[in-house]
Structure formats: structure tokens, C-alpha cells
Structure 1
Amino acid sequence: MSPTVSIIVPIYNAAHTIGRCIESILTQQYTDFELFLVDDGSRDGSGIICDAYAKRDSRIRVIHKENSGVSDTRNLALDLAQGTYLQFLDSDDWITPDATSSLVRAAEANRCDLVIADFYRVIGERVSRKGDIEEDTVLTREEFSAHMMENPADFYYGVLWNKLYRRDIVETHHLRMDPDISWCEDFMFNLEYIRYAERFYALQIPIYYYVKTKGSLANQSLTIAKTVKMKLMVFEYYQQFFKTVLDEEEYQRCRPKVYRFLVDAAGDGAVPPAVLPNSKKLGAERSRVAPELLSGSGPLHNAYRDRKLLEQYLETAALKNDLSLQDITLLLALRELEAPCTRRDLADFTGLTRGSLSFSLQRLAAKELILVENLKDIETEEKLLRVSFPTTSAAVFQDLDVALEDARQASQAGLTQEERAQYEALSARIQSNIRSILQ
């Protein structure tokens, strides 16, 4: 049976980083994939590392070949891929645990041909989120192209690794990387693909860590004349793409934006050396799990594992809706509470400080996800909070339900249907015992 996703990683002298890349793929929440590790004539032991991983996991296929460049290397894997979808990584980068599951879910839920996602740009020990499209809806080819026109030469549109492709489109139209181009070859492939795709979706979840260590044109042994010729050729194709997508009148109106590509492309996607805007220390951009605490035993270790598993899935819903993990956890708590309560009790229930609780309540109210009403208990005169939910919260609740179901499925992986039913029954009895003791 063919896998749902074919993941392709071209490798050349990446012995210091390929392990991190492979581990991030093998630890994905989504498991129905095949992984192509294509060693492009590495001389540093990268191929040996790949072979060792292949012995551990049957989903991995290692291909060793003579060095011929990244485009030819990707093409070889494309010829062998069997998945419904195609996903790409570079060997010195890595992906978040929810990357593949988020891409596939977006593709299937929206019946789209291309999913494009936010990513993290990494410089040293700093990381910054990068994205462009903020529309949470399916886009037509014309709408997607209009967004792309606003930021010509942007990595968000040009690269392969923050996207999910349909393999049937690639094969039907015989799309491949051009091995004769060593600059913007990803972008050229994308332009060809977009011509045949009809439905697009922008996933506003950062799923990829891009490390700026790749060489620029200056160290690719290209002459200035060849570089200029290559850029002009790419621009000509870029221009023809928009002439195809837009009618003549619309193209003439947008032509100045199209021509901006030549200026913007001159930077070769370079990352500024200064501290990234809105950056965080690498490792602080998502909730952290302490490995040494995962293997312990006892009630506190069990509670820690349960909490971290739930947080991992809730965080995906939080990022999609521009919320913090604290915000989404509070929203879940408010939905579960059936009666007004004091701020003290709400803080105790969620594990938040009173200050953090007030801040998250304000954020959720500002985003029109909750309506807060202040009451007073007639008997005790305590101040109570009563929360209701406007219709704008429905989409976030849907994402919450998906996260909760994913966490449940993950925790019960490998159990038979009968075992799951027994587990649910026993859990309900245990919770009933606990309630009777604490009341």
C-alpha cells in the first residue's frame, strides 16, 4: 500500500546536521510516509549515517549517487516517490513534530493542491517566525499569485520546504527541477506547479526551521556573466508566468510589481546579520519538554507527561489562531467550566497566576473569543466571572477539538478497540473515586 506522503531530503556533506534532520522526521506525529535520503556523492560520512538510520526504520530509503547537484538529486527521488503528497527538506534544517500532520490535514480538509506554511528562520541561537499570507481561506491561483507578486523573491514563496504538493499534478505535467539552473531552481519549479494548481491554502503555523548556512552565488564558482544571464532567464520566466495567470489589462496594471522581482532577487534571500525582529532564543519558540522527566515514575511524572502531551497538541491550535499556549489552555478551561467562578478558583484550575490569568482573559476578549461578565454571589458577596462565547470562537473550538482528539489518539496508540473501551471505563471509575474523596 502506497504511503500518503513522500518526504525527500537531498544530502551533500551534511554529517554534522543530517541526524537532527532525520530525527525530526522520524518523530513526526504523522507516521504514514516514506523517506528518501538521497546522498549526492558526499565525502564526509553522510551516507554512512543515512544507512544506519535506514536499518532502524523501514520507511527510509537511502540512495547513493555520484555528485550532480541538488536539482538532479531531487529529481531522482521524484522518479521513485509513491506518495499522494510530496514534502521536501534540506539536510541542515529540521521540522516541528506537527509539521507533516498539519500540512496533510490542511490539504485534505480544504481539498487544495498546494499548502504553504509559515517557518522559523534560524540564525545562531536566535529564531524568528516568517510568513506572509494571513487569509484563513482557500485561495484561487489568481489570488495566490497576487500575494506572491507583493513580495517577489521572498523565500516564503520561492522555496520547496514550507509546502506540500500533490504528486499527481507533478507527474501529470512532468514537472522536475532544472539541473542547468543553480539559482532560484526551487522558485522555477514552484512557478510551473502553480500554473497547474487550482486551490491554495496558507497554513499559519510555523512548521520548519530554516538555518541560513547555505552558500550564496558568490561561492558557487559562477562567473558574473553567467550569474546575470541566469537571473535574467529566471526573470523572463517569472514575467511569462504572470502573463499566463493574468489577462493583458491586469498584467499591464501590475507590471511594476512584477519588475520588482529583479531588484528584490539581487539579495539572494540573504538573512540580515543583525538580531532578527521579534526573535526568540532558539528553543523558547515552543513549549519545552525535559527528556529527563519523561522516563521517571510516580504520580507527578505521570501528571507531567499527561500535561506535556496535551500541550504539544494544543500548541498547534494556538499557533494557527495567533494565541499563546497559555491563552488556548485558558480557553479550553473556560469551555469546560459550566458555572461562574471566582478568579482565584479559575487561576487554581488552570495553574496560572492571577496576573497571567488577567492578561490572557484580556487577550481572549480583545480577539472576540470570549465575553466576560462580572457578577457577585448574593450569599457570599464574592466576585464571580461568567464567560460566554460569541460565534467568532467556533472556529477555534473546532481546532481545540481536533487537538484533543489527536492527543487522545496518540496516548492510546496500539490499543485495540476493546482495550480502549476498557481504559475509558476504568478511567471514569477512577475519576469518580477521586471526586468523591475530594468533595
Structure 2
Amino acid sequence: MNKELSIIVPMYNAERTIEKCLQSILGQTYSNFELLLVNDGSEDKTLQICEAYAKKDKRIRILSQENKGLIKARKLGVNAATSAVVGFVDSDDWIEEDMYAELMKIYKETGCKLVSSGIYRDYPKDDYTIEVCDHFEEGLYQNLSAEIYPTMLWDSKWSDFGLYCTLVNKLFQRETLREIYDEIDTRVFYGEDCLTLYSYMMRIQSIYILKKSFYHYIIWQGSMCRSADEKLLCNTYYLFQGLQKEFQKVNEQETKYALLKQLRRYILEVESHTLGMLYGIDMAAMGEWKYDFPEVLNKKVVLYGAGGGSKALYRYLKDRCNIVAWLDKAPEGKDMRCLHEILPADKIPELDFDYLVISVLSKELAQSIKKELMELYHVQADKILWQQAEHTSIFENA
């Protein structure tokens, strides 16, 4: 008898992470699934590890191909799936035990064609986690043209995706996915989730947004090689062409215009990220950032955090106070910012300062950092400052 759900895991040289991934899937409270492991030409022990698991659990099927990339690996899995519903998990990630029980319950009860949940972004190197959810209220949406499409790719209120283009925290209808994978450009390797998801969204009539997270997406900084610049330029073109083709099919002119406008903005963000990744150009710092830290005037200040927006905060502080140090929990591999050396966080006890200003964008992360600074380095709470900056992107009117 066919299972209700097919879970597809593409794998390439994942010997260090695949066991935790498999254990989290096989340990689900929901068990009526088949697990398709797609070996994308791995050269390490990934396949042997999976074969050992397959001998113990009959729900596992292993598929193999030469190394052809993520889209083709997922396509192989989708075409081999025997269930009407499909979910994806990446081989270096893991999921909480009740994920598929909750997602399948919603899928069956509502009859929707896509369930989208939140996602945890885990940064092991920096030892923190951020929860991200779609920028829509929880519930069932059946008028996508009016309720979802206007802010699907870009929500100006949040300066972010409306519907996050990750496949791994969602459930899909298999037959519609097969149509997508038969048509999309398999040359896309950066932004392939966006190309797949938004193409899928143009072919369904309903979606359920769940404001709850189960999936742990592991992010290792610097995972994409800097030598890929020529391929990235071509990739962006293929990505743009693929999504433009889908949006051009929309009959309603107002909806089509809204989607194409969001697409232009999204592509600018892709290019901005590419410039930062390849050449260290911080496009975020070129936008307008508004801060208000009256406490720091003429004081000795430590700036903590060398991530997004940190250069803009540095520029604000340097004319108002004496920046005695710029610290980061994981400074390795981070370039000197504004000609200022980035030091490790464990230098805090050696520093004489009046205030420590945290430079991160997330309120939840700032609270976590503050707690850690107080516990590990005994920094007084009233010396630690953070605020949500007002940011206007350089692309705001694009």
C-alpha cells in the first residue's frame, strides 16, 4: 500500500551530517511516509551510511545519479515518489519530531495545495538561532491573486519576502511539482528554491500559512565559493527569465504588474547578495539607517557584531564617541570593517568602556546576545545597548 507522504532528501558528500538528518526523519511521530534518499554523485561515505539505514527501515529507498545539482536531484526524487504529497529535507539539516504530523493534519483537513510553516535558521559557528515565518497571518488562503501575490516576493512593509522561498518547511502536491520540474531551468543553482516555489504558486489555488517552526536549517558562513562569479551572473539571468516567464502568464494586468515589479526588486536583492559574497561590498550599508543612541555621546564604546548593517552603525558611532573595540563572536574570515580590526568576544574583560552597543538586526538575537554577555563576561545590563534601526534600502524606489 502506498504511503501518504514522500520525503525527499538530496545528498552530496554529506557523511558528517546525514545521520542526524535521517534520525530526525525516521523518529517522526507521523510514520506513514516513504523516504527517498537521492545520492547526487557523492564521493564520500554518504551512500554507505544510507545503505546501512535502508537495511533497517523498509520506508527508505535510495536513488543515485551522477553529480547534476540540486534541482535535478529533487526532480529525480519527485518523479520516483509514489505518494500524492511531497516534502523536502536537506541532508545537512534536521527536523523536530512532530513536524510532519502537524503539516499533514493541516494538508488533509483543509484540502489546500501547499502548507507553509516557519523555519529555524541555526548558525552553529556563531551559536545562535533565528526563527523566520511568512509575513502573512496564519490561516487558509484561497484567493491568492488578491491576498498572496501582491506581496509574495517582496513585502515593502518588512523589506523582506512575503512568502519565504524555502521548500523544506512545506508540503506540496506531487503532480504539480512534476509539472514544475519538467519545465524549469535546471541551470539555476542559486535561487532554485525561489524559482521552484513561485512557479508552483502560480499553478495552485490555495495555501495554508502556519506560524510555527519545526525545521532547523543549518547555515555555515561562506558556503558558496568566491570563484563562482561568472556562473552567478548567468545564474541570475536564468532565474529572472524563469520567473518572468511564469508571471507573464497571469491574465489580470494589475496582478501581473505587481508580480513583475516584485521580481525586479527581488533580482536586485540577489545581485546585492552576490556583490557582498564575491567582493565584500555591503549594499545594505549604502541604504539609509537611522539610529538614536544619545547615551554614547563622547563615551567609550564597544561595538559588538560584524554582520548585516554593522558598517552603518559604525559610521553613526564614530563621530559621536570613542570606539575602543569592534568585537564579534566569530571574527574568523570576516574582513576588516571600515579599516577597523574585528576582535573576538573574549577580549571583553580586557577592555575599558562605558557602553557596549549590539549590532544585529533581530530583536530576539539581540536579547540572546545580551544574556550571553551578562553571563559569560559579566557585562552590566545597563551598559548594553540595542535598538531596532529604521532602514531604507538603496533599492527602495526601484
Picking from 128, 141, 144, the partner of 1:141 is 144
55 and 255 in structure 1: CA distance in 2 versus 1, 3 angstrom threshold = closer
Letter paired with 2:140: V
Q: Indicate which of 193, 204, 228 corresponds to 1:222.
A: 228
Structure 1 residue 48, shift from structure 2 partner = 1.0
SS of the aligned residue for 1:244 comes to: coil
Equivalents in 2 of 1:39, 1:155: separation in Å? 33
Structure 2 CA distance for partners of 1:135 and 1:167, relative to 1, 3 Å: same
The CA distance in 1 between the partners of 2:251 and 2:269, in whole Å, is: 21
Letter in 2 for 1:241: E
Letter in 1 for 2:133: G
- Per-residue CA deviation, residues 225-264 of structure 1 (Å, 9 max, x unaligned), is x422321232233334334346224444675444211222
Cα deviation, residue 181, structure 1: 1.8
Q: Secondary structure at the match of 1:128?
A: strand
**Structure 2 residues not aligned, in runs of 5+:** 278-306, 309-329, 331-358, 369-398
2:168 to 161, 170, 174: 161
Match of 1:278 among 337, 347, 364: 364
Residue 32 of structure 1: aligned partner: 32
Whole-angstrom distance in 2 between the partners of 1:164 and 1:184:
19
| One of 247, 253, 271 as aligned partner of 1:242 | 247
Distance 2:258 2:86 in 1: 35
Counterpart in 1 of 2:96?
96
Q: Please give the per-residue CA displacement for 1:370-411, whole angstroms capped at 9, x wherever unaligned.
A: xxxxxxxxxxxxxxxxxxxxxxxxxxxxxxxxxxxxxxxxxx
**d(CA) in 2 for partners of 1:101 and 1:132?**
20
SS of residue matched to 2:116 = strand
Cα separation, partners in 2 of 1:53 and 1:154, compared to 1, 3 Å:
farther
Match of 1:261 in 2: 266
SS in 2 for 1:182: coil
Distance 1:30 1:251, change over 3 A: same
Flag the structure with higher helix content. Answer: 1
Q: Distance in 1 between matches of 2:116 and 2:222?
A: 24
Deviation at 1:154, TM superposition (A): 4.1
Which runs of structure 2 are paired with 1:28-177 in the superposition (5 Å)? 28-124=28-124, 125-139=127-141, 140-142=143-145, 143-151=147-155, 154=161, 157-171=164-178, 175=182
C-alpha separation in 1, matches of 2:98 and 2:7: 14
Moved more, 163-172 or 252-261: 252-261
Task: Name the aligned partner's letter for residue 137 of structure 1.
Answer: G
Q: Is the CA contact (8 Å cut-off) linking 1:243 and 1:251 kept in structure 2?
A: yes
Tell me if the contact between 2:75 and 2:178 (Cα under 8 Å) persists in the aligned partners.
no
Alpha-carbon distance in structure 1 between the residues aligned to 2:79 and 2:40: 16
109-118 vs 259-268, greater mean Cα deviation: 259-268
AA matched with 1:231: T
Out of 186, 192, 195, which is 2:199 matched to? 192
Q: TM-score, normalised by structure 1?
A: 0.58
CA RMSD of the aligned region, Å?
Answer: 2.9
CA shift for structure 1 position 79: 1.7
Q: Note the residue ranges of structure 1 that are not aligned, 5 or more in a row.
A: 282-439
2:7 is paired with a residue whose SS is strand
Residues 74 and 172 of structure 1: CA distance in aligned 2, closer, same or farther (over 3 Å) = closer
Q: Structure 2 counterpart of 1:158, which letter?
A: C
Rg: which structure is higher? 1
- Does the CA contact (< 8 Å) of 1:75 and 1:176 recur in 2? no
The match for 2:9 is 9
User: Equivalent of 2:216, from 199, 209, 212?
Assistant: 209
- Residues 78 and 256 from structure 1, CA distance in 2 versus in 1: closer, same or farther, beyond 3 angstroms? closer
CA displacement 1:176-199 (0-9 Å, x = unmatched): 664322121222122221121111
What amino acid is the match of 1:160?
L
Which residue identity is paired with 1:111? G
Q: C-alpha distance in 2, partners of 1:165/1:253?
A: 25
2:148 maps to a residue whose letter is: F
Q: Which residue identity is paired with 2:270?
A: A
2-structure distance, mates of 1:67, 1:145: 35
Q: Which amino acid aligns with 1:146?
A: P
Distance 1:64 1:255 in 2: 38
Over the matched positions of the two proteins, sequence identity in percent amounts to 31
Amino acid at match of 1:184: G
* Letter matched to residue 242 of structure 1: F
Give, in whole Å, the separation in 2 of the partners of 1:153 and 1:42.
35
Change (3 A) 1:259 1:177: closer
Matched, 1:232 2:237: yes
Q: Give the conservation status (yes or no) of the 8 Å contact 1:106–1:203.
A: no
2:392 alignment counterpart? none
1:132 positional shift: 2.0
Task: Check 1:84–1:250 CA distance in 2 against 1; reply closer, same or farther (3 A cut).
Answer: closer
Amino acid at match of 1:136: E
Partner residue in 1 for 2:21:
21
Do 1:75 and 1:177's aligned partners in 2 also have CA atoms closer than 8 Å?
no
- Which has the larger strand fraction? 2
Output one character per residue of 1:69-107: Cα deviation in whole Å (capped at 9) or x when no partner.
222221211121001200001100011111111111111
Q: 1:255 to 1:4 in 2, by over 3 A?
A: closer
The residue matched to 2:171 in structure 1 has which SS?
A: strand
TM-score, normalised to structure 2, is 0.63
